[in-house]
Amino acid sequence: MVSLIEERDKMTKKNVVASNTKSAINMAITVAAAAANSSLFTMAALKPPVAPGSFFTILQRKLIQNLEINGAARVNAWVDSMRASSPTHVKSTTPSLSEDQSSWILRHPSALEMFEQITNASKGKQIVMFLDYDGTLSPIVEDPDRAYMSDAMRTTVRKLARYFPTAIVSGRCRDKVYSFVQLAELYYAGSHGMDIKGPSKGPKDKNDAQSVLFQPASEFVPMIDKVYKALFDETKSIPGANVEHNKFCLSVHYRRVDEKKWSELAQLVKSVLKEYPKLRLTQGRKVFEIRPTIKWDKGKALEFLLESLGYANCIDVFPVYIGDDRTDEDAFKVLRDRGQGFGILVSKIPKDTNASYCLQEPSEVMNFLQRLVQWKKMSLQRQGKKLSLR
C-alpha cells in the first residue's frame, strides 16, 4: 500500500492533472452559470427575433422567466446559507428542547458527560489530539486578528502535549495560528491542512525549514497572491468586509458586513473566482473560504500526521479531533471511516455532523482537555510511572 508520506512527493504532479480535468468541468459550469446570471444574456441573446405570440416567442419568454426566477433563487440561497453559517444562539425560546434537538443530543452526547466511556474506549491505546483553533481553542470574535487564546487555555494545551502528541489544525496561515498558540512543542497544520510542520527543532532550525513536513499546494502561491489582490480591491467598496491571506488559501470575512450587503459581496467574490477554476469556494462561520481544488483537506492532514507519528497502520492509536466548523467535518469523517477514536463538534446548536460527541464552547473544550490530563496523570501514577517532562 502506498503511504501518504510516499504519495507526498507525487502530489504536485497529480494535482495539476486533477485540476486540468476539473477546469474543463468548471469551465462548462461557469459558462452556464454566467449565462444564467447575466441580464445581458437574457435581454440580448433571448430577445424575441420572431413575431410576438409565436410558439418560439412564448418558449423564449418562459425561458427568460425561469432564468430570472432561478437567478433570484440562487442569490437568496447564498444569502440564506451565509445567514446560517454562524448562528449565535438556539432559536427556540421555550425551556424544553424540541424533539429534533433531543434526538440530536442523544446521538451526539456531551463529551464531558461521556468522559468515562471515552477514556474506557481509549484504554491500551495511544491518544493523539487534534485541535482546531477558531471557535475551539479561542471564542469567535468580530475581528479575526484579535482571536486570542486565553492563558488558561494555553497552559491546558501545554500540559496536554506533555501526555499526548498534539496538533493544531487550522484554516489560518500556520504562522498566524502559531502567533496565537505560541507552543513550539506542537504539530501545526495551517491553511486547512495544506501547511504541515512538526515541533520546532530548536534555535538552529532557521525559519522552521527542517520541521516543515508537507506543503501540497506550493504551486498555488502565485495564484493565491493574485486573487488576494483582486478580492482586496473588489471588496473595498463593502464596509466591514475583510480579506485574510492564509498563504495557501484565503478568507473573505463578512461578520462585520451589513446583512443588506451580503448578496453583493457574494456576487463580487464569485465574479473574481470565475477566472480561477482551479480554486474552490466554500463557507465557514461568516466567512468565504477559497482554496485550491487539490484533494487535500483537514482529514488528509490528520491521516498524514498519524503516519508521520508512526501510527499509520496501527490499531493501538486513538485519535481525538475537536473542531467547530464545516472544514472539520473532513477530519470527523476520516475517524468515522477508520473506526478509530472520534470527533467532537463544538457547537451550541444541533448541526449535521460526523462527530460522535459535542461540547458547547471553548470553555467546555478546556474543561474536557483538563480532565484528560488529570485522568492520564492518575492512570500513570496508578501504574507507578512518572512522566519524563519534556
Give the residue numbers annotated as catalytic, written as ranges: 132
Nearest residue to ligand L263DTV3 by CB is 171
Out of 165, 198, 277, 284, the residue judged to bind ligand L263DTV3 by CB under 6 A? 284
At position 278, the amino acid (one-letter code) is: K
Out of 244, 303, 329, 330, the residue judged to bind ligand L263DTV3 by CB under 6 A? 244
Q: Is residue 341 within the footprint of ligand L263DTV3 (CB under 6 A)? A: no
Return the residues of window 296-335 that contact ligand L263DTV3 according to CB under 6 A.
325, 327
Is there a contact between 279 and 290 (Cβ–Cβ < 8 Å)?
Answer: yes
Q: Is residue 16 within the footprint of ligand L263DTV3 (CB under 6 A)? A: no
Helix/strand/coil (H, E, C) string of 97-141?
Answer: CCHHHHHHHHHCCECCCCHHHHHHHCCCCEEEEEECCECCCECCC
Q: Is residue 359 within the footprint of ligand L263DTV3 (CB under 6 A)? A: no
Closer Cβ to ligand L263DTV3, 166 or 246, answer by number: 246
Closer Cβ to ligand L263DTV3, 109 or 139, answer by number: 139
Out of 108, 286, 291, 300, the residue judged to bind ligand L263DTV3 by CB under 6 A? 286
Is there a contact between 227 and 249 (Cβ–Cβ < 8 Å)?
Answer: no
User: Which span sits near ligand L263DTV3 by CB under 6 A: 36-44, 87-95, 232-240, 246-254?
Assistant: 246-254
Total residues contacting ligand L263DTV3 by CB under 6 A comes to 24
Out of 37, 251, 283, 308, the residue judged to bind ligand L263DTV3 by CB under 6 A? 251
* Chain CA centroid to CA 49, Å: 49
CB atoms within 10 A of CB 364: 17
User: Which span sits near ligand L263DTV3 by CB under 6 A: 75-83, 108-116, 247-255, 364-372?
Assistant: 247-255
CA distance 271 to 101: 38
- Residue 282, strand partner residues: 289
Q: Which residues contact 64 (CB under 8 A, 6 or more apart)?
A: 42, 46
The grid coordinates listed for 56 are: 418560439
What Rg, from alpha-carbon coordinates, does the chain have? Answer: 24
- Binding pattern for the stretch 145-184 against ligand L263DTV3, x by CB under 6 A and - elsewhere: --x----------------------xxx------------
Q: Minimum Å distance from CB 259 to ligand L263DTV3?
A: 14
Q: Is residue 246 within the footprint of ligand L263DTV3 (CB under 6 A)? A: yes
CA distance 92 to 98: 8
CA distance 65 to 42: 9
Residue 358, φ and ψ in degrees, nearest 5: -140, 160
Out of 108, 253, 300, 376, the residue judged to bind ligand L263DTV3 by CB under 6 A? 253
CB atoms within 10 A of CB 223: 14
Closer Cβ to ligand L263DTV3, 67 or 231, answer by number: 231
The H or E element spanning position 227 is helix 221-235
CB atoms within 10 A of CB 326: 16
Closer Cβ to ligand L263DTV3, 104 or 248, answer by number: 248
Is there a contact between 86 and 140 (Cβ–Cβ < 8 Å)?
Answer: yes
Out of 141, 221, 314, 380, the residue judged to bind ligand L263DTV3 by CB under 6 A? 141
Q: Minimum Å distance from CB 347 to ligand L263DTV3?
A: 12
End-to-end, the C-alpha distance of the chain in Å comes to: 34
The H or E element spanning position 281 is strand 279-284
Is there a contact between 362 and 136 (Cβ–Cβ < 8 Å)?
Answer: yes
* Chain CA centroid to CA 300, Å: 12
> Cell 519524563 belongs to which residue?
388
Q: Is residue 216 within the footprint of ligand L263DTV3 (CB under 6 A)? A: no
Q: Is residue 132 within the footprint of ligand L263DTV3 (CB under 6 A)? A: yes
Is there a contact between 297 and 249 (Cβ–Cβ < 8 Å)?
Answer: no
Closer Cβ to ligand L263DTV3, 255 or 338, answer by number: 255
Q: Is residue 287 within the footprint of ligand L263DTV3 (CB under 6 A)? A: yes
Q: Minimum Å distance from CB 324 to ligand L263DTV3?
A: 6
Interface residues with ligand L263DTV3 (CB under 6 A) are: 132-135, 140-142, 144, 147, 170-172, 244, 246, 251, 253, 255, 284-287, 289, 325, 327
